[in-house]
Amino acid sequence: MQWNSWWLGLLCVVALTACGSGGAPATTPTRSTGAQVAASSPAARPTQPPPTEEARPLEATATQPQQEEPEPTNTPEQSQEPTAMPTLVPTQEPEPTATLEPTGTPKPRPTKEPTPTKEPETSAATRMTGVVRDAETGKAITGAWVYLGDEIARTNKAGRYRFARDAEAQRLTVMAAGYAKAELGARDAADGRVELRRFDARGVYLPFYTAMIPAQRERIFDLINDTALNAVVVDIKSDDGLVWDAEVPLAREIGATYDGFDLGEFVRQAHERDIYVIGRFTVFKDTKLATNRPQWAIQSSEGGLWTDDTKNRYTDPFDERAWEYYADLAVEAAELGVDEIQWDYVRFPVDGDLNTLRVDGEYNEESRINQITEFLAYTERRLRPSKVYISADIFGLTVWHTRENYLGQRLERVAQHIDYVSPMLYPSGFNAGSGGYDVPPAHPYGLIKQSLEKTYPRIEGMPVRVRPWLQAFHDYAWGIPYEVPQEVAQRKASEDMDTSGWLFWNPAAKYDPDSFVANP
């Protein structure tokens, strides 16, 4: 019995030893980590941060159905839409994750992760998307500017836009060349859809000094309200450099402000009568600034400041201090309610002895074009947050060929940074033989039509519209009277070419109402 007990005890020890080991390896097992759990369990969330909105494909959920059209990001893709200004398009921030915490502050691991279905719902709630279309045709509008709070986006070829923020209690403003501005509550836009209605500005020019005379102002406002006109082009910076009673410090310092011109009151009166206000802003032709800041001006190789044939002085397009001054004034004008800023004399001078002209940079075709383009790019960045339309006047001959003729204006480059391009297609400005006509002013319809036919192919696909300047003054080259028949012929050519309106120029603001009847 003793032997049997000893033997049975030995057998139990062997058995218990075998049961406790379970075939485990001899080395000590490591602790389970989140990474290991993720690898072994498909339901677990990976520890690395999720990709940003730009990189992550949209996920189809019950609250965010899959769209047939591609949704854009705030930064337009080069292949899908016109070039946008990187500084204006807000970069979407990545979703908050543990990796966004400062490296010196350890982030405790959450004891419970949210269920996988929560993430797309949160993403959809903080992103507002939509599409902008033509109210009449239903077609998508490319290159529309969409404002939500202090963020700015631009539509792609499918007319779509997107914001990476909640749209609750925000105002949505949408603008596009050729359309009236739309303002509505973000939640009022069903599914983010916005419809814009076409707007063609049909206007006349009102000079700086005439605009501040109440009787003359009323005369032009009555003309607009009693005819097919709906817009006025008023000088907000004159050819000699004077401006309204602006608050910009430099304008006051150099004596450029004119206290007799209350721009805010002018705009208020015009808007009361449903008149669209275009502020004509003479840029580099600026005797006032050049005289008071000679170091910013174009110099003469013969000493002193360069002047043109009529003794006007110009600021140097290479001097960016002048750019800032002009942008400051334009932003203030926009804040006063001006609907559109129209750049004029946005070019190098050509009337005078160019052999003696000296600027602070290379003076050749490429540099001149680049400098004018850069000025327009800079002022666009400054003006877009003000929700104002932007246009530019260019020489009529600029649309006929690509040579810049010392101006620095090339149609395709100018059009990149504006909403409307206004070639000055005054028939009297064309030389004999232009358009195949020995006397061009005698053929107003044909000359305007040919000019526009040459314009459109060069800006095809760009979100810019054409609105020409037309002639409302007597021909000074051949002595041909320009009256109602000639003015109506120009207007008809413009309308037949489907321009976004037209503008008539008379330096004394004298116009015949018969030129602007509804159906001439």
* Strands (E) located in 276-356: 276-282, 299-300, 340-344
Segment (H or E) for 391 = strand 389-395
Given a cut of 80, whether residue 2 has pLDDT beyond it is no
Given a cut of 90, whether residue 287 has pLDDT beyond it is yes
Given a cut of 60, whether residue 454 has pLDDT beyond it is yes
Identify the CA nearest to 385 among candidates 153, 94, 41, 105: 153
Both structure tokens of 17: 């030893």
Mean pLDDT of 373-390: 98
Residue 313: pLDDT band (50, 70, 90) is: very high
Identify the weakest region by mean pLDDT among 26-30, 212-216, 374-378: 26-30
Given a cut of 70, whether residue 178 has pLDDT beyond it is yes
Could you tell me whether strands 340-344 and 389-395 are parallel, antiparallel, or unpaired per DSSP bridges? parallel
Share of the chain above pLDDT 70, in %: 73
Distance of CA 299 to the CA centre of its chain: 33
Residues 6+ apart with CB under 8 A from 379: 323, 326, 327, 330, 343, 390, 417
Both structure tokens of 43: 């339901």
Segment (H or E) for 358 = strand 357-358
The radius of gyration computed from the CA coordinates of the chain, to the nearest angstrom, equals 33
Given a cut of 60, whether residue 322 has pLDDT beyond it is yes
Tell me the whole-structure pTM to 2 decimals. 0.77
Q: Which residue has the higher pLDDT, 483 or 82?
A: 483
Contact 489, 515 (CB under 8 A): no
Identify the weakest region by mean pLDDT among 69-83, 373-387, 476-490: 69-83
Given a cut of 70, whether residue 10 has pLDDT beyond it is no
Both structure tokens of 356: 């003696």
The predicted pLDDT at position 351 comes to 95
pLDDT tens profile 330-341: 999 999 999 999
The predicted pLDDT at position 520 comes to 75
Contact 395, 351 (CB under 8 A): no
Neighbours of 487 (CB within 10 A): 23
Rounded-to-integer distance, Cα 269 and Cα 307, Å = 38
pLDDT tens profile 200-231: 999 999 999 999 999 999 999 999 999 999 99
Backbone dihedral angles phi then psi of residue 10, each to the nearest 5 degrees: -60, -40
Identify the CA nearest to 278 among candidates 328, 215, 204: 204
Mean pLDDT, the chain, as a whole number?
80
Identify the CA nearest to 164 among candidates 253, 279, 40, 74: 74
